Amino acid sequence: MKALRKKGLRCEADLRNEKIGFKIREQTLARIPFLLIVGDAEENAARVTVRDRTGRCMGTLLLNEAADAIKIFCQPPEVHLD
């Protein structure tokens, strides 16, 4: 979480003793913009699985890659009034 916060992203960890599917569904219904899922497989590979607010899986990335992608996605569009 420190790496995400260093990049200026707000984040929280859900460490409750619930099934992962329940947690994903709950956060999707809450319309959380992005979920970074770290299970045993991801932890061993030093990666995170990224899901968007609709629950669509966006793939498995290195943590820094995921943070950079989210940061770019969240930037406001450039407006040119020329």
Arithmetic mean of pLDDT over the chain: 90
How do residues 22-47 score in pLDDT, each as one tens digit?
999 999 999 999 999 998 888 888 89
% residues pLDDT > 70 (the chain) = 100
Strand partners, 49: 37, 60
Q: Is 3:63 a contact under the CB 8 Å cutoff?
A: yes
Give the domain 1-11+32-75 fold: Rossmann fold (3.40.50)
- pLDDT band for 62, please (50, 70, 90 cuts): very high
Residue 4 CB contacts under 8 Å (≥ 6 apart), including other chains: 11, 36, 63, 67
